[in-house]
Structure 1
Amino acid sequence: MFVAVVVSTVMLALFTINTRLKTDLLNAIVANEMSELVEDYPTQGADAIPHSANLIGYVVTPAQRNQLPEPLRGLGPNVKGVTLTYNNHTYRVGTHALGDNKQVYLAYDITAIESRESLFKLIAIVAAILVLILAVPLGAWIARISLKPINALAEHVANLHPGERTARLAEQFEHYEVGVIAHAFDRFMSRLDEFVERERSFTADASHELRTPLAVIQGAVEVLQQDPKLVESGPLTRIDRASHQMAELIEALLFLARDEQAEADGAAPSCRADQVVSEVVDAYRPLMARKTVEVSALDPCEIGAPRIALVIAFGNLLRNALRHGGDEIRVTLADRRLTVADNGDGMTTEELQHAFERGYRSGPGAGLGLGLYLVKRVADRYDWRIRLASRPEEGTRIELQLA
């Protein structure tokens, strides 16, 4: 398309310039001959009137105009130049008024010039067409050759994985212009490898170092709860509840930090969503206090995700509803849609816009701002669609479409 525009523009410019130059040149020739005729006619009379193969002149009175070729009869005085065709010839014609009520007509034969110009235009048009015909496959071939190393580099980059040590790209593209880009990618991958290694080390260390003290705390709490004097202890109950919440949060964060798409035996992960929902609701009953949690529908449903993923997602939704919702909470699992709705104070438009952002908190009793953020992370990983609907004083409804 670009080549066609360029060629068309060049051809149009050439034709315009050629026409302008030809017109100016012919007008100059006619004007020069007319000047000589006007100067010589008073002294030489009819001998001054040219009559050659290329130039024909006429000096007539108004009564003698019928002797002129028909195309010349309608021309007025002092015509600088006009192209007329008659008697199978093309002429550039000029006129000039003389004394004694006479008028001079001068016709310069440009038939040969017009023929050569037509041939030039034809050759130019044919050449332009040939250029266009050749430009498309030639341009495609050149582009394919030029883009080959770029496509190869793009393919290598697309196959790179942050966790895999691979051969450096610069070695494969050393003799190409894209070698600079390959070197830049190598430097970036080196930094990324270091980052991934640090993240893996942290995840492994955190998995051990954080779980161990929590296990000790929970074990100690269980021992203390066996003492009849401490069974109803408020501080001990809060410690037990906080330790379990911290264990769940650590498990969620470690799960999201790992990129595990299969079970240990290589099988695709799966779980029964209805069973997980029922288990999570039972686990959260100590937190319900005076609130009512109604499971209105619980259809059998198997999903392609590990159990921990749904525990994290649904657990955070239910915890949010218990913490910020009203007295009535409804849970449904039907048509692969998991819904948690409450009759609480609802959310404002601004709160809806930031609800899934990490660290966003609002309202009394706000937590760490991680609940809905973790739900969104899990949903994105397993292509679950999440919908949040809420209005002030009308409660909140969150729906997970399980893929």
Structure 2
Amino acid sequence: MARRAAAAALLVTAALLPGGTAVAAGTPGGYGFAPGARPVEGAAGAPDARPLEAGGTYRSSLPRHDTVYYRVGLDAGSTAYVSVTAVPGAGDEVTAADGLRVALRDADGGSCSLNTVIFGAARSARPLTAQVVREVRDRGKRCQAAGTYYLTVERTRPQDSPQGAWALELTVATEPGPARAGPTGAPEDWDSATPAPPTGAPGRLRGADGFAGATLVGPGVWRDTVRPGQTLYYKVPVDWGRRPYASVDLEGATGGSGYTDGALRLALYTPVRGEVHGAARGYSGRRTTVGLAALPPAAHANRHSADSRVSGMRFAGDYYLVVHLSAKVADGFGDGPFGLTLRVRVDGTVRPGPGYDGTARPEGVFDVSTWNPAVAAATGGGGDGGGAARGDSATRAALAVGGIGTGTALLLGLGVWTAVARRGAGAAAQPRNRAQKPTA
């Protein structure tokens, strides 16, 4: 019976993961594009721009010196989130100031949103994700009307950038307005102290190589491996009223010498791929840890804050943890792999959401995947999760896996299950202090 269950788990995993790959996390510098992403060619100007539809995922490319245009049709009642992930070629040499710039403009050329991300001090070619937002506001004056909007994508330093075209993954998501009026100011009372990382025996998992196939992970301690130049993707279910925290430990090298600035990077992204917070640390061959800053509980009113760490926590859903190890680590310490320990907490009490007056696109993007602590424990660890919510076993039947020591196949199978899982009871809320005011 155990053998049949284990075989079924492996078959489900292999069939549903992008590309049919059950365990491969991708090669250094690689990226796992969404299966079924529609190809679209960027235009040289607005008149020829091809359309991107709400809820859609697309593949395109970005030449070195060009600015490419896309067209997005928006209504007057939904906030829109357009995200672009640029993937340099494997082995590309990049500068610290090189990167990706995206902008959203209305039909008259007025600027709605602009965002720039760069490779930074690590100078490591990695997938870069930038998001622009068309925010619907009660007293908004610009970019509020229904109609045609234009997305532009370009490199920040084309003169210093690698010659080859970068592959692009583009997504368009829309969020309906709330069904009932809520606060018009960001919450100020929340615990701004950095949470303690969870402890305990680690479970094992394998990070994915892109947003679309991100590995589902719950609260606890998890072991993985990473190679220089590799980027790993995980997703953490976060319900209304709850907040995530994560840190990453990179093991020390067994030999070699040197120092790589900004070598280990950890970032948190929203369910629609907007960066909430990112942090990086250098690596000298010794054990290195990088952690996220404290974040507020997910609440619709957070969007009114000027602090991106607060405004990013504006909805429930599966948030993404993205880990990157600089390719330059290999120069001093070899190609690895290096051991990685991911520590995840999710604190707070589940609260009612705002109730949306309409349907999000893609549908279900602000729903929360089921995470079952009992299933996690069966995979060989997880530690003290810091208040893991109880999964509803009635909503999703757990695969009974026997004889798989690491539990990798089961965790990957869970990673493709997305469902609404409103928990009936959450952990007790942490003591709250007055948060520091964001600085200008």
TM-score (norm 1): 0.25
Structure (1 or 2) with the greater helix fraction: 1
Larger radius of gyration: 1
- Of the two structures, which has the highest relative contact order with CA contacts closer than 8 Å and spacing of 6 or more? 2
TM-score (norm 2): 0.24
